[in-house]
Amino acid sequence: MVSRRRERLERGIKVRTDDVYALCSTKEMLYLVAPRLIPILVLLLLPLILPTYWQKVVIFTGVFALLSISWDFLYSFTGLVSLGQALFFGVGAYLAGSLNHYFDISPGLTIPISTIAGATLCTLFLLPALRLRGIYFAMITLVLPLIFLRIIEATAILGGTDGLTALAPLPGIWIELYLILGIMLVALFALRRLVNSDFGLVLRGIHDNDQAVKGAGINIYWYKAQALFIAALLGSFAGAYLTHVYMFVGLSAFALDFTVVPIAATVVGGMGTLGGSVLGAFILVPLSEVLRAFGPLRIVFYALLIVVFIILKPEGLFNYLQRKYREFERWVEV
C-alpha cells in the first residue's frame, strides 16, 4: 500500500520578489499582472453590458466595497474593531445632504467637502475612544451612530425623521458608475500600497502589540488617528456619494446595514487583504439583490455567514484563492 500526501510548493517568483525579477520574462510579468488587471478590466467593462437595474446594483456594491475596505483597513492593520461603519457613512451623507439642501452647493463640491469634513468630524468624535482597544473601542463605535440617530430624531434638525429630499443628482448614470468604481479601485490599490509602506508597518505593529510600538518611541495615538481618518475618508465619501445618487438623505444613513454588510463582506472575502473586502462585497451585495424577496431575513443570512466563516474559514475566500494561485500542488508518494 503506497500512501501519498499532497505537497505544496510556493511558486518561485513570489519567493524572490514582487517586482524586480518579474521583469525577466513576459510570462512572469503576466503571472503577476493578470490577477490585478483582469478584475479591473472586468469591473470597468461590466457596467457597459448590464441592464439599468443591475447598474444600480453595481453602484450599491461599490459603496459597500468602499465601506468594507475601510473596515478591513481599521481592523486588520490597526486593530480597531469598528462596529459603526454607519457613523462614517451617515456623517458623510448628512454633510453632503445639508450642504446641498441649505447652501445649494453642487454635488461636484459637496462630495469632496463632505468627504474631508466628514472624516475630520468622525476622527474628532472617536478621538477620546482611541485610548481604548478591542471591545471598548467597539462599544463606542456601536453607540455613536445610534446616538446621532436619536439626536436627529429628537431635535428634528436636518429634516428630522423625514430626511432631506430633492437633493441635486449627479449628472448621468455613467458618471455615477465610473466615479464609484474609479474611487473604489484607487482606494483599494492605494491602501494596499500604504499598508506595505513604513507607515503601514507601524500600523501593523500597533495591531500586533501596541505597547511594543509605544516602547519604540512612536506616538501610537497619532498613528491610530491617521488610520481612523483614512478609514473615515472612504466611509464619508461613500455616504456623500450615495446621498446624491438617491437625491435623499434620511435616518437610514445610520442604519445597521452599513455596519453589518461591510463586516460580512470582509469576513467572507478574507480579512487583512483589502482585496478580499471588495471580493466579498461583490459576492454578497448582488446575492442580497437576488434574495430581495426575503427582506429582513437577509440580515440574518449575513450574520450567520459571518459566524460560519469566522469559525470554519477564518482566512476567507481571497486568501484561499491567493494561496491556490501561488502554490503548486502535487501528490507525492511517501
Partner 1 sequence: MLENVLIYGLINGMVLALLAIGFALTFGISGIANFAHGALYILTGYTVWVFLHTLGTPYLLAIFLAMAITALIGAAIYNVILLRIRGMRSSEIIATFALALAILEAFRFFGFVGAKYTLPTFVEGSVSVAGVIVDYQRLILIGVGAGLVGLLWFFTHYTKTGLAFRAIAQVERTALTLGIDSDRMATLSLAFGAALAALAAIVLLPLGQITVETGLNVLLNALAICILGGLGSVTGIVAASLLLGYAQIITVTYIAPHWLMVVTLVAIFVVLLVKPSGLFGKQKELEERV
In the complex with partner 1, which residue's Cβ is closer, 38 or 303? Answer: 303
Q: Of 43, 81, 242, 268, which lies in the binding site for partner 1, with binding defined by CB under 8 A?
A: 81
Length of the chain: 334
**C-alpha grid cell, residue 39:** 478584475
DSSP bridge pairs for 42: none
Query: Are the CB atoms for 4 and 320 separated by under 8 Å?
Result: no
Measured between alpha carbons, how far is 176 from 77 in angstroms, rounded to an integer? Answer: 30
Among 314, 325, 327, 328, binds partner 1 (CB under 8 A): 314
CA distance 64 to 54: 15
Residue 171, C-alpha cell as written in the block: 449628472
C-beta of 194 vs 310, nearer to partner 1: 310
Q: Is 138 in the site for partner 1 (CB under 8 A)?
A: yes
Least distance to partner 1 from the beta carbon of 300, Å? Answer: 5
Return the axis-axis angle of helices 85-103 and 107-126, rounded to nearest 10°.
140
Stretch that binds partner 1, among 33-41, 150-158, 165-173, 277-285 (CB under 8 A): 150-158
Q: Which amino acid is at 167?
A: L
Structure-block grid coordinates of residue 64:
459597500
Place of cell 455613536: 144
Give the Cβ contact number of residue 188 at 10 Å: 21
Please, which of residues 18-47 interact with partner 1 by CB under 8 A? none
Contacting partner 1 (CB under 8 A), which of 46, 283, 310, 321? 310
Stretch that binds partner 1, among 29-37, 55-63, 78-86, 193-201 (CB under 8 A): 78-86
Is residue 182 within the footprint of partner 1 (CB under 8 A)?
no
- Residue with C-alpha cell 459603496? 63
Per-residue mark of binding to partner 1, 269-298 (x: CB under 8 A): -------------------------xxxx-
Q: Which residues bind partner 1 (CB under 8 A)?
A: 75, 79, 81, 83, 128-129, 131-136, 138-140, 142-144, 146-147, 150-151, 153-155, 210-211, 256, 260, 263-264, 267, 294-297, 299-300, 302-304, 306-307, 310-311, 314
